[in-house]
A = this chain, B = another copy of it.
């Protein structure tokens, strides 16, 4: 029996979901159809991640399909994580926070060097570009939400694969010995085993 914890990115990121469908709704529905009769694979999704996922759907799949996703939360109040993971996380955040300050300085100096006309043309473009650079420097490649941590803790707790397209999740899940798979591999695992049955 194969256990897989599912991240939203599998059904939401355009680079991933095309494996199962053109829209998040279609991708999820097709995936659920695909696993419906599979006895060798059980899928899990933490409730917090499920809430995230359904925001991308205009309409929920019918209940008989939805129950194919086990909405199991990790036992957060009973679990623990190795101290070394926290060390690495603190060091990583420290270096990212420094990068954030360098970016803020860069853009403030940029602003001071540039004079806007009375219509303030250009201000929003500069702010937009600041936001992009800042988010990429401080958010990408790190666990930055409790939903991310729910996925990692649950996969660890039930000894499951983690299906995700998120580089930050993969990096931190691997530190805890979790096997990560992408959408294509998830698809292959569903099909392959089935053929051999």
Contacts and interface: CB of A to CB of B under 8 A. Distances in A.
Q: Give the interface size bracket for A toward B.
A: 35 or more
A104 B111 contact: no
A56 interface: no
A86 B146 CA distance: 9
Nearest to A157: B83
B82 A79 contact: yes
Q: How many copies does the complex hold?
A: 2
A74 B87 CA distance: 12
A2 interface: no
A86 B149 contact: yes
Max chain B CB contacts within 10 Å: which of A107, A120, A144?
A107
Nearest to A146: B87
Given A107-B108, A126-B108, A90 B143 contact: yes
B109 A109 contact: no
Interface string A104-138: 11011111111110001001001100110011001
Contact of A81 (B86, B130, B135): B86
Given A90-B143, A115-B115, 17 more contacts: A74-B83, A76-B83, A80-B80, A80-B81, A81-B81, A87-B146, A90-B146, A90-B148, A101-B131, A104-B108, A107-B108, A108-B110, A109-B111, A109-B127, A111-B112, A112-B116, A112-B126
